Amino acid sequence: MNIVDAPSPNFGPRAEGKKIKYLILHYTGVESAFEALRLLQGGDKDHQVSAHYLVDEDGAVSRLVAEEMRAWHAGKSYWEGETDINSCSIGIEIQNAGHEFGLPAFPEAQIDAVIELCRGIMARHKILPCHVIAHSDIAPERKQDPGELFPWKKLADAGIGQWPEPGTGEEGDIDKILTQFGYDPKVDLKTRVTAFQRHFMPEVFKMPEKVGVGDPDTVQKLQSLVKKKLGQRPKAPDCRPK
């Protein structure tokens, strides 16, 4: 794919010993890619942010930070016990005005470009599908992006991220399962459930009374994703005597 270099000064080296493991998707939360690019290239000295890539609504892709470097996109965040997400992730900003401006739909050309970009990144760094996550997953108290209108299922169907299976009838302690899946156990339970639903159960946001409620359907879908995730992890070598 055609990628235009648009360097940002907001980057540094990854922390020693940290390897790229996660792919984090964001929306820009501003009204145009021009404004997003200005901010990501250091246009706001009070809020120094960046990402590795920016995908415009027409599918144009800009590279702001080299993949081997640490971009400043995740902020204070947590996933699977990791708190320096910037040091072990690639960040993609997707142009969308966000919730403040009514959360516009994501154009097809833009999502096609995101899929192609993600596939390349995942292949280069051997990122597991279960490690493609939302900014709202890793920082649920602060962030909502890329939001409940982002087509996560379409990405999952393309091998990017994962999607829950229909309810299996299983029960469980949602607090513990959310932690097992990756969410920060120190965050309020309702906030974590809302973040999970925003990513994996967007239909709930048409029923406000169900948002943040850990009902059986939410528990069962979470259970199905934990099982998928465990299935994606490399198996330990068999060290038993032959």
Q: What share of the chain is helix, strand, coil (3-state, %, to 5)?
A: 40, 10, 50
CA distances from 9 to 47, 66, 71, 90, 122 (A): 13, 11, 9, 16, 25
Distance of alpha carbon 127 from the chain centroid: 12
**93 is a catalytic site residue:** yes
Q: Do β-strands 132-134 and 61-63 pair in parallel, antiparallel, or remain unpaired? A: unpaired
**Distance of alpha carbon 91 from alpha carbon 54, whole angstroms:** 9
Please identify which of the residues 57, 80, 93, 148 carries the catalytic annotation.
93
- Residues annotated as catalytic are 93
